[in-house]
């Protein structure tokens, strides 16, 4: 027991970081994945890494160390999920301009979202799995203990990075939703001209079918562009997670 006792703090801290990351990662953190699998996966990672990872721990630093590990885990997971958040945001934007925002459904990845957002989310997840990005995420997470020893984490830099990542997500969402949003703006302008030319026409009832029809046509043609663009963003997730480690080192 004395031999194993010295590994218990290391095990718990590794379990903490791994638990936060796995519970929030794309696919692995999905509500469709059984909780037993997640727990077993996290415990297996902790068992494997405990003998080779060393934490310099004192009783006074334990709360700060726990806070740093949790912050790093949240930043890792948020970085990995940022593309999916951007895709969901783009789907919500497209649903709003097409008049479909009321048709919300439960998305096991992100909670309540619209049908359009769910369609794009499923496509993004299939691309994510086809490119084996989840393997890269697990690899970078395991290597993070080598590149960033436990306890040597700069929380201030991570907070600044999280804020900047939120801005990047919004930009990605705008790029994805731009074709549909622009098509809806043009449709609104044309319907406005028609309303002025023929005031007796009820544009309110004519407009919504037009928005939905034009929106789905533009979505159909823009899917061929969406797939390589989202694949390009998935390719840089690994680099972004390595950047998180560099930033956390200060």
One digit per residue, the tens of pLDDT, for the chain of length 250 reads: 566 667 777 788 888 888 888 888 877 777 778 888 888 888 888 888 887 777 666 655 677 788 888 888 888 888 888 888 899 889 888 888 887 766 665 555 555 567 788 888 889 988 988 888 888 888 888 888 878 776 677 788 888 888 888 888 899 999 999 999 999 899 888 888 887 777 777 776 777 888 888 988 999 998 888 888 898 988 888 888 888 888 887 6
Residue 30's closest CA among 105, 125, 123, 166? 125
Predicted TM-score (pTM) of this structure: 0.82
pLDDT of 112: 59
- Are 109 and 81 spatial neighbours (Cβ–Cβ below 8 Å)? no
pLDDT of 173: 92
Backbone angles phi, psi at 148, to 5 degrees: -135, 90
**Domain limits for position 162:** 2-249
pLDDT of 107: 56
What does the DSSP 8-state code read for residue 25? S
Q: How many domains does the chain have?
A: 1
pLDDT of 147: 81
- Are 248 and 153 spatial neighbours (Cβ–Cβ below 8 Å)? yes
pLDDT of 20: 85
Burial 66-103 (b: 16+ CB within 10 A, else e): eebbebbbbbbbbbbbbbbbbbbbbbbbbbbbbbbeee
pLDDT of 218: 92
pLDDT of 15: 85
Which tokens in the block code for residue 209? 């079918």
């Amino acid at each position: 027991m004395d031999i194993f006792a010295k590994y218990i703090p290391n095990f718990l801290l590794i379990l903490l970081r791994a638990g936060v990351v796995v519970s929030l990662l794309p696919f692995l953190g999905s509500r469709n994945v059984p909780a037993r699998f997640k727990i077993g996966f996290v415990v297996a990672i902790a068992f494997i890494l405990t003998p080779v990872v060393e934490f310099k721990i004192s009783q006074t630093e334990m709360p700060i160390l726990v806070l740093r590990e949790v912050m790093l885990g949240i930043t890792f997971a948020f970085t990995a999920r940022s593309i999916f958040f951007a895709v969901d945001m783009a789907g919500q934007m497209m649903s709003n301009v097409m008049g479909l925002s009321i048709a919300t459904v439960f998305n096991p990845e992100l909670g309540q979202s619209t049908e359009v957002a769910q369609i794009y989310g499923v496509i993004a997840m299939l691309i994510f799995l086809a490119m084996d990005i989840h393997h890269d995420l697990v690899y970078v997470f395991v290597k993070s203990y080598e590149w960033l020893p436990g306890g040597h984490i700069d929380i201030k830099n991570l907070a600044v990075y999280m804020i900047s990542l939120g801005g990047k997500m919004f930009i990605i969402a705008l790029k994805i939703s731009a074709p549909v949003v622009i098509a809806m703006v043009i449709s609104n302008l044309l319907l406005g001209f028609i309303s002025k030319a023929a005031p007796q026409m009820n544009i309110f009832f004519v407009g919504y079918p037009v928005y939905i029809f034009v929106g789905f046509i533009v979505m159909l043609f823009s899917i061929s562009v969406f797939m390589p663009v989202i694949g390009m963003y998935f390719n840089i997730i690994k680099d972004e997670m390595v950047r998180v480690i560099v930033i956390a080192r200060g």
